[in-house]
Structures are given as structure tokens and as C-alpha cells.
Amino acid sequence: MKNIETLKKGKRSKKVKVLCSSRTGVATCSQIAGEIKKFLRKNHIDSEVIECKASDINSLCTDVDLIVSMTQLPPKINKPVISGVPFMTGNKLEDTKKDILKILKN
């Protein structure tokens, strides 16, 4: 799916990569990844959402645009990081979604 405004201008949209992590990379991660995919699709953002365990982040984060994590990450990761907690609790979820759009559209 391509960004509608980009299609009108005749340009190809960039596919964004989002890394979604939780402690074990299983149920919580899958739930958050599904919500992020729906949200990005709704906003016409072509994306790839990758699920992983927190211990795998260092090896997978080199070519991603954003990391959404349920755990604390080491400060040496030089990628934008957003907490995945609002996707589970609903608390400040709209603010989190706005932050995601701001990061991915820049």
C-alpha cells in the first residue's frame, strides 16, 4: 500500500521498518505489532513490522526506522524508541500514535 499523496505526485513511497519487541517476543509483541500494522495502514504508510525478543534488538535494529519496545533498552541504540505500553493499557495511546507518525513522516 502506498501513501496516497505520494501516488498523486508520481513518486514512490518509502517502506518504513518498525521493530516491535517484548521480553520474550511472543504474545505481547504480536498484539502490539498487529495494532501498529493496522494503525500504519489506516494512515497510508507502507510498512514492515518485525517482531522480536528484547535480547535480539541489537542485531535487528541496524536498518529500522523505529523501535516500539515493552522493555527498557540500552542507551547505545541510535534509533527512535517508543514505549509499547500504551498499546497494552490504552493510557496515552493517542499521544503515542501521534509520536509514531511524527517520527515516521520525517
Q: What is the pLDDT of residues 59-94, one digit of tens each?
A: 888 899 999 999 988 778 889 999 999 999 999 999
In CATH terms, the fold of domain 4-105 is Rossmann fold (3.40.50)
Q: What is the phi-psi region of residue 92: left when phi exceeds 0, alpha when psi lies from -120 to 50, beta otherwise?
A: left
User: What pLDDT, on a 0 to 100 scale, did the predictor assign at position 2?
Assistant: 43
Render the burial of 65-83: b for 16+ CB within 10 Å, e for the rest: bbbbbbbebeeebebbbbb
Evaluate if residue 35 carries a pLDDT over 50.
yes
What residues does each domain of the chain span? Answer: 4-105
More confident residue, 7 or 93: 93
Count the neighbouring beta carbons within 10 Å of the beta carbon of residue 86.
Answer: 19
Q: How confident is the model at residue 13 (pLDDT cuts 50, 70, 90)?
A: low
User: What pLDDT, on a 0 to 100 scale, did the predictor assign at position 19?
Assistant: 95
- Contact criterion met (CB below 8 Å) for 50 and 22: no
Evaluate if residue 4 carries a pLDDT over 70.
no
Instruction: Give the amino acid at 6.
Output: T
Supply the pTM of this predicted model. 0.83
The CA distances from residue 94 to 39, 58, 79, 103, 104, in Å, are: 11, 28, 21, 14, 15
Which among 65, 39, 68, 63 has a CA at the least distance from the CA of 51? 68
Mean pLDDT, residues 30-52:
95
